[in-house]
Copies of this chain bind each other. A is one copy, B any other.
Amino acid sequence: MHEVHEREILEKLREIGAERVLIQTPEGLKREAQELACFLEGEGIDVIISGDINYGACDPADREAKMLGCDALIHLGHSYMQLHLEVPAIFVPAFAKVDVIPALERNLGEIRKLGRRIGLVTTVQHIHQLERARDFLENHGFKVFIGEGDGRVSFRGQVLGCNFTAAYVDADGILFIGAGYFHPIGVALATKKPTLAVNPYSGDALWMEREVERTIRKRWGQIAKAYNAEKFGVIISTKKGQLRLAEARRIVRLLREHGRKAELIAMNHISYPSLEGFDFDAYVVVACPRVPIDDVENWRKPVLTPPEVELLLGLREEYKFDEIVGGKRSINEPLGVAFHGPGNGV
């Protein structure tokens, strides 16, 4: 169970002078949000909990906070993403307690197959152990590279589902520390380097090659299905950190220049059922890059990413993973509770 640092949050709120706050939480921290609300109310703070499911720092509820008369936003579970926020925000990343070293130790043989020069990345859950992991690996003869990452991430070596800039290092292969396929498959697709995922909970190590092949094959399948599509719905998201209006307009223009029809569609949470009533032959998601990749089974129409449209129109040859990049990172997030004023928080 992750810890929520109640006292520290209260202190930050008092520093800001906030009297009314909105707490936003991912699915897995809802009970912590509820406990935090209870604690803060006991300290005289008015609290509203956001019931909207949150998938990332790309979707801060700062507009909702402002609208509800809140002085501050508490965003649980994710680290800060550089965005212009309308109220002061406290980001409370959830750090996992599991020790990452035993899993690395157990999988040294597999890690060696990456080569001697390895890139090391992880998610925010394990980021506080990245230096320890690096030391451990260097003590075992590896040359470890930890990428800076750009403005979408808070920490060196941190990857998001949509941003692998911290994995763009001059290494033979990439070692990802963390659970599941979601992040390391993205690392492998984006970097095109051998990628090994070491899971600190199970102690397992997984190579991404087969998953990458399977995913790219599926993506080409989507491109093929959209090949003769006439009418494209080009979808943008109103989530602040997913809004890529200029890129969407570029895709609409490209499609129209190539004789296809295209309309811009804006939505908050992107899911196929909401689109069912429209008369489009195919969709392009110019928002979270993971929607077309991970949710494709739920779409009854082909759904592409922007680079896949370029492949479809013959403007690109090699498969490219869609990423959202975010300019230069101008902060180094302190570990733990982190405060960001309204504005870009720099």
Contact = CB atoms under 8 A, between A and B. Distances in A.
Interface of A: 22, 27-28, 30-31, 34, 37-38, 41, 47-53, 63-64, 67-69, 233, 235-236, 238, 243, 245, 261, 263-268, 270, 274-275, 277-280
A50 B37 CA distance: 34
B68 A263 contact: no
A27 B266 contact: no
A53 B274 contact: yes
A52 B278 contact: no
A116 to B, nearest CB: 44
Most chain-B CB neighbours within 10 Å: which of A28, A50, A53, A266? A266
A277 B31 contact: yes
A38 B263 contact: yes
Contacts of A51: 233, 235, 265-267, 270, 274-275, 278
A60 B31 CA distance: 32
Contacts of A277: 27-28, 30-31
Contact of A52 (B67, B267, B279): B267
Given A69-B245, A235-B51, A64 B266 contact: yes
Chain copies in the assembled complex: 2
B31 A265 contact: no
A34 to B, nearest CB: 6
22 contacts: A22-B266, A30-B277, A30-B279, A31-B277, A31-B278, A31-B279, A34-B279, A34-B280, A37-B263, A41-B263, A47-B263, A47-B264, A49-B263, A49-B264, A51-B235, A51-B270, A51-B278, A52-B267, A53-B274, A68-B238, A68-B245, A69-B245
Contacts of A235: 51
A275 B25 CA distance: 12
A271 to B, nearest CB: 9
Nearest to A264: B48
The 10 closest A-B pairs by CB, nearest first: A51-B267, A30-B277, A51-B265, A48-B264, A52-B267, A49-B265, A30-B278, A48-B266, A64-B238, A37-B263
